[in-house]
Amino acid sequence: MSKTACPLDCYDACEIIYEEGRLKGSKEGYTQGFLCPHLNHYEKHQIIQKPRLNGSEISMNEALEALKSMIREPAPNEILLYRGSGNFALMQEVSEHFFASLGATLANGSLCDGAGEAGIEEGRGSNKNMPLTEVAKSDVVIFWGRNPHVTSSHILPLVKGKAIIVIDPVKTQIAKSADLHIQLKPHTDLELALLLSRFLYIEHGHDKEFLDSYASDYEDFHSLTQNIRIKATLDKIDVSLGQIGDLLHLVKDKKVAIVCGVGVQKYRDGAEVLRAIDAFAVMLGLFGKEGCGVSYLGSSRANIISPFNTKAPRVSKVDTDFSKFKTVVIQGSNPLSQMPDTLRVRESLSKVKNVVYFGLHENETSEAAHLVIPAKSFLYKNDVRTSYGHNGISFMPKQKDSDVGIGEYELSAYLCREFGIAIEDESFYIEHFKSFAQEANDGTLYVKGRENIPYQDGFDTENKEFVFLDELDLDTNESEGMFLISSKSLKSLNSQFERQESVYLHSSLGYGEDEEVVVSSKSGSVRLRVKHNDDLRKDCVLIYSGTKGVNNLTTSKRSFSGNSAIFQENKVEINR
């Protein structure tokens, strides 16, 4: 029996007991003895067994030779390392050490939470997260654009018995049993948050004492919220005055956790949305207090210092012009499915002389790559991981040996040797990461210096005060079409594992179950079979992340702040 942790890109970062070839959730701490479909069936999913060069199987030694010449031949500035989040553990970054030291280009920006994070940083001066363990101490939980049954199930036992509010255009599983569900029109959270702040103030529900100390511009912010027309806005966002009243009634004078997901910020103004939600939390005085706050996606690397050299020229991972490079190495990512604007990505990547895919599973990107190098899964290599949803840190020692694939450290050490770049032993880096762990009274490990209740002495801005939005740019001329909702599905982790194949529509729209339709936007189109889902609004089209072709529909424009992809910006239409 040995302990490790789930490597996947997920809030929960579960701790695992590995016993006789079986993965079980650790009974201690937040994992509470259960995993999820991904890990329950982890080793049943087929992984790539052998390297390939131009479609023909080769040995690992031949693959490493081929990789070496693909790196030796071009100038360093013609080489790009594009890293995704297939594995979230800390040793994944070791390859950046090699490529940065060589003078190659790396990627920056976000396909995920970047817009929201930028908004939080603008308001608070930093993005220190409210961890899972604090959410457990609240009276009321607002799930705002977060689908916990699918993406963060370990929060569910912690919120049992609390008052639950859900703000989501979809009637998610948690919405069905919530005390209040506001099924607003997509992309109207900014307006809703401003209205909530405005009515809270009118009803004298704001925390004056807190605001005077840490957000003294709140009167100006209130004036700003007065610029929105109440009736017209309520009509636009499809929320009633009664629902606003009900929400305020539930949260006033309570310990409230606003548990926000990426759903609210997949738009160009995603930063403003999170900043407005934060402002509502500030009006309620939710920061620096037990059981209160906004739980979004923190940085899993908060308080961890990288031992690697990662200083390099960077290009955005949202709209990357791959064609500028002669060799593109793709690690832990499936950009031909998961980057926005797939038609553009395909065109750009098709002009690259050497595309290298370094991953576990076959997918669109492995199919298009010249060189495919299988990775080793987390069970076969040493690592350490942290989370963006809580402050735990887990050691992930190798569980067994395998002849299949190569680990990130092994691959990078080989390249460093061949190109004369200094690299330490693997154990040096593992010990380095372990040194950030500290034991709590109950024996669990957490990251040193990460606060469970951040902002107790004010915010991380220059004068310790929250910076409210000071101008509004509310989109008034909406484009035609239906809203695309593209969120996470239960049995896939983005494009890993069991991927969805359908477009979900409200049954009243008149399309038959299994009917084939073409969904299109200004960026492109995709042909999919219809499944009915009456938990959707009639103006929404749901296509899950990982569905083949979904990103034909999405734009490679970036969010105004945060260098982030905006998967729900484009409207779509359905045709038979």
| Closest C-alpha among 526, 537, 480 to residue 503 | 526
Does 244 help bind ligand MGD (rule: CB under 6 A)? no
Q: CB neighbours of 476 closer than 8 A, spacing ≥ 6?
A: none
Q: Which of 35, 146, 17, 37 is nearest to 499 (CA)?
A: 37
Residue 67 contacts ligand SF4 per CB under 6 A: no
Among ligand SF4, Mo ion, ligand MGD, none, the one that 14 touches (CB under a kind-dependent 5 to 8 A) is ligand SF4
Please state the closest distance from residue 188 (CB atom) to Mo ion, in A.
22
Q: Which does 39 bind (CB under 5 to 8 A by kind): Mo ion, ligand MGD, ligand SF4, none?
A: ligand SF4
Does 391 participate in binding ligand MGD (rule CB under 6 A)? no
Dist CA 195 CA 181 (whole Å)? 16
| CA distance linking residue 296 with residue 360, whole number of Å | 29
Q: 3-class DSSP state for residue 153?
A: helix
* Residue type at 196 in one-letter notation: L
Minimum gap (Å) between residue 85 Cβ and ligand MGD: 4
User: C-alpha distances in angstroms, 252 versus 146, 161, 204, 454?
Assistant: 22, 18, 10, 21
- CA-wise closest residue to 221 among 283, 270, 287, 265: 283
Complex with ligand MGD: residue 207 or 341, whichever CB lies closer: 341
Instruction: Give Dmax over CA atoms of the chain in angstroms.
Output: 71
Instruction: Provide the Cα torsion 61, 67, 69, 74; round to 10°.
Output: -170
The least CB distance from residue 426 to ligand MGD, in Å, is: 15
Q: Assess 555 for contact with ligand MGD (CB under 6 A).
A: no
Contact 71, 64 (CB under 8 A): no
User: Cβ closer to ligand SF4: 153 or 523?
Assistant: 153
Asked whether position 297 contacts ligand SF4 by CB under 6 A, the answer is: no
> For ligand SF4, which is the closer residue by CB, 10 or 294?
10
Q: Which of 9, 13, 4, 7 is nearest to 447 (CA)?
A: 13
- Residue 465 or 489: the one with the smaller Cβ distance to ligand MGD is 489
Residue with Cβ nearer ligand SF4 (38 or 558): 38
- Nearer to ligand MGD by C-beta: 35 or 517? 35
Pick from 4, 26, 36, 555 the residue near ligand SF4 by CB under 6 A: 36
Provide, rounded to whole angstroms, the least separation between the CB of residue 504 and ligand SF4: 22
Residue 172 in tokens:
């998610």
Could you give the CA distance from residue 416 to residue 94 in angstroms, rounded to a whole number? 11
Query: Which part of the chain contacts ligand SF4 (CB under 6 A), choosing from 11-19, 132-140, 334-342, 423-431?
Result: 11-19
Which class for 329: exposed (0-12), middle (13-18), buried (19 or more C-beta within 10 A)?
buried
Instruction: Label the pairing between strands 56-57 and 256-260.
Output: unpaired
Binds 521: which of ligand SF4, Mo ion, ligand MGD, none (CB < 5-8 Å by kind): none
Segment lying near ligand SF4 (by CB under 6 A), choices 4-12, 171-179, 357-365, 514-522 = 4-12
**Choices 66-74, 317-325, 395-403, 547-555; region in contact with ligand MGD by CB under 6 A:** 547-555
| Secondary structure (DSSP) of 179-223 | SEEE-PPTT-HHHHHHHHHHHHHHTT-S-HHHHHHH-TTHHHHHH
Cβ proximity to ligand SF4, 500 vs 520, nearer residue? 500
CB 520 within 8 A of CB 527: no
Contact stretch for ligand SF4 (CB under 6 A) within 34-42, 239-247, 351-359, 430-438: 34-42
User: Is residue 339 a contact point for Mo ion (CB under 5 A)?
Assistant: no
Selected from 81, 237, 262, 328, the binder of ligand MGD by CB under 6 A is 262
Q: What is the C-alpha to C-alpha distance for residues 277 and 242, in angstroms, rounded to an integer?
A: 20
Task: Please report whether residue 288 would count as binding ligand MGD according to CB under 6 A.
Answer: no
CB closer to ligand MGD, 10 vs 292: 10
Q: Which stretch binds ligand SF4 (CB under 6 A): 6-14, 240-248, 315-323, 532-540?
A: 6-14
Q: 3-state DSSP call for residue 540? A: strand
Residue, CB closest to Mo ion: 112
Cα–Cα dist 429/380, whole Å: 17
Q: Which does 555 bind (CB under 5 to 8 A by kind): ligand MGD, ligand SF4, Mo ion, none?
A: none
- CA of 456: how far to CAs of 84, 140, 290, 299, 388, in Å? 34, 20, 10, 19, 20
Contact at 8 Å (CB) between 436 and 55? no
Which window, 71-79, 181-189, 244-252, 414-422, contacts ligand MGD (CB under 6 A)? 181-189
The candidate with the shortest Cα–Cα distance to 299, out of 463, 120, 443, 149, is: 120
Contact window for ligand MGD (CB under 6 A) among 54-62, 109-117, 318-326, 522-530: 109-117
Among 39, 80, 112, 373, which residue sits at the site for Mo ion (rule: CB under 5 A)? 112
Quick check: 39 binds ligand SF4 (CB under 6 A)?
yes
- Report the distance separating Cα 276 and Cα 195, nearest Å: 10
CB of 545 to Mo ion, least distance (A): 8
**13 contact choice in ligand MGD, ligand SF4, Mo ion, none (CB below 5 to 8 Å, kind-dependent):** ligand SF4
Q: Are 318 and 109 in contact, with CB atoms under 8 Å apart?
A: yes
Does 548 contact ligand MGD by CB under 6 A? no
Q: Which stretch binds ligand SF4 (CB under 6 A): 35-43, 304-312, 335-343, 537-545?
A: 35-43
Binding mask 151-170 for ligand SF4 (x = CB under 6 A): --x-----------------
In 3D, which of 15, 37, 11, 31 has the Cα closest to residue 492?
37
Residues that bind Mo ion (CB under 5 A): 112
Residues that bind ligand MGD (CB under 6 A): 9-10, 84-87, 111-113, 144-147, 150-151, 167-170, 172, 186-187, 189, 261-264, 331-334, 338, 358-361, 363, 375, 377-378, 485-490, 492-496, 545, 550-551, 554, 567-568
Residues that bind ligand SF4 (CB under 6 A): 6, 8, 10, 12-14, 35-36, 38-39, 153
